[in-house]
Amino acid sequence: MHDVVIIGGGYSGSLLDSLLEGLDTVLIEKEEIGSKDVSAVTFLKIVEFEDAIVKTYNSYTLITVDGAREVYEFDEDVFCLVNYRKLCKNLVRSDVIKGEVIKYEPGKVELEDEAIEAKVIVDCSGIGGENLREKAGFKLPPVVNALKFERATSVEWVDPSSFYLIVGFANFGGWIYPIDDNFLEFGMANRFKRGGRILFPEIEEARKLFGFEKGSELRSVLYPYGFVKQVVNDNIVIFGDASGLTHPVYGMSLHYIYKMAPKLADIIKKTVRGEGKLNEYQKIWRDTLRKASSLIAAGYSTWDLPLDTQIRLAKLQMELKISPKSILDQMWALDEKFEMYAKYPPKLTDYPISLHFKTFLNRIKIIL
Ligand SMILES: Cc1cc2nc3c(=O)[nH]c(=O)nc-3n(C[C@H](O)[C@H](O)[C@H](O)COP(=O)(O)OP(=O)(O)OC[C@H]3O[C@@H](n4cnc5c(N)ncnc54)[C@H](O)[C@@H]3O)c2cc1C
């Protein structure tokens, strides 16, 4: 019997594996370590491997589809575009078994032709493992993002030292991640509550609007959104995309995985040594969600608003001249408290009543 089995070698499984030194851990991956089609921007300080950094940025730019723009500049490079495969591969230290998990239950993980026993099972299988979690009785993150993205030639107005978030396309928004002076990645997201028909966004219109030349590859990926409340069941825990661990406003997930992984690793070690119970992580998780409930509720509610209202609110943020540090703190925040410093503070009436109301309801749902 192993101490730990990790299912999935994306960032959550790989990072967790790197933190479980001293334990007998195996990692099961059906494809390759870090093979998901991801081009992620994250905080530079969380990426310790030079070769996993594609590009660094010292500013973030918010733009709306009708031409408004605000640049939040920092004194140094704060963000980077990562090479996901290299990031994950650099982290893994345990033996990797190549295979697809078809089922798990407390103490046992089943592959096509073998069963592996372990004291603790960690499901880090992302969106690909949703059927496993349904069979095991876990809830799925409530929303699915349908993303379409491509590589395009850069244009003059795009500053390669900044990455861009776009408000006003599809029902969610989009991004521009410069790769170098000549190329960028550009994508759009549509958000859907589970159960509805999922449509990938049409990005042709956006491509024309921004003046990008058609990219060489157009990719489509699904991605879960929305925190799952129950993440521990017996000696099984779900982590990363599996638990919907993503920033409610910016969608950035890697740094949330980075923040929670040491807490989970610590509890796993105690559980294996018989000094604690895995359920302690459930308590930490619920506590974190409660403390983060304002941020999470505001994020969920904003993206539920009609597109023209989202654009109006993005422009309001620009007019208020919110400080770059506040934006940075808001992007980083999970359960931390942060002050939103604005040169022209907003009035309550600047925001639609429906937003206040939805935020209140969403907050109650998260807290309960
Ligand atoms: C297009 C796109 C852009 C993004 N941009 C950003 C960004 O800018 N910043 C940011 O921070 N985040 C971003 N994200 C989100 C971020 O990439 C994810 O939150 C993060 O990669 C989740 O990691 P994970 O390890 O939980 O899941 P994954 O990386 O999906 O890893 C899951 C792994 O489990 C394996 N697996 C699945 N099922 C099984 C099974 N049955 N048996 C064995 N193995 C299995 C899969 O093959 C996969 O390797 C983006 C996501 C997408 C799709």
- Helices 279-291 and 254-272, interaxial angle, to 10°? 150
Cα of 322 to ligand 1 centre, how many Å?
31
Give Cβ neighbours of residue 368 (< 8 Å, ≥ 6 apart): none
Ligand 1 binding site (Cβ under 6 Å of any ligand atom)? 7-13, 28-31, 35-36, 38-42, 100-101, 124-126, 128-129, 132, 147, 149, 221, 223, 240-241, 246, 252-254
Alpha-carbon distance 9 to 18, whole Å?
11
Outline where 292-343 has alpha helix (H): 293-303, 307-320, 324-332
> What pLDDT, in 10s, does the model give residues 56-78?
999 999 999 999 999 999 999 99
26 forms beta bridges with 5, 95
Cα of 261 to ligand 1 centre, how many Å?
15
* Mean pLDDT over the full length of the chain: 94
Residue 204 pLDDT exceeds 90: no
Alpha-carbon distance 269 to 277, whole Å?
10
Q: Please give the average per-residue pLDDT across 328-337, as a whole number.
A: 94
- Helices 307-320 and 293-303, interaxial angle, to 10°? 130
> What pLDDT, in 10s, does the model give residues 177-196?
999 999 999 999 998 888 88
> What pLDDT, in 10s, does the model give residues 205-220?
889 999 998 777 889 9
**Domains of the chain from N-terminus onward:** 2-287 (3.50.50.60), 296-367 (no CATH)
pLDDT recorded at residue 216: 75
pLDDT recorded at residue 171: 76
pLDDT recorded at residue 22: 95
Alpha-carbon distance 95 to 108, whole Å?
17
pLDDT recorded at residue 286: 97
> What pLDDT, in 10s, does the model give residues 143-164?
999 999 999 999 999 999 999 9
**Confidence class of residue 173 from pLDDT cuts 50, 70 and 90?**
confident
Residue 51 pLDDT exceeds 80: yes
Of the chain, the percentage scoring pLDDT greater than 90 comes to 87
Determine how many CB atoms are found less than 10 A away from the CB of residue 130: 19
Would residue 78 be called left, alpha or beta, if left means φ above 0 and alpha means ψ between -120 and 50 degrees? Answer: alpha
The residue whose C-alpha atom lies closest to atom 6 belonging to ligand 1 is: 40
Residue 343 pLDDT exceeds 80: yes
The residue whose C-alpha atom lies closest to atom 7 belonging to ligand 1 is: 40
Q: Is 300 helix (H, G, I), strand (E, B) or coil?
A: helix
Of the chain, the percentage scoring pLDDT greater than 70 comes to 100
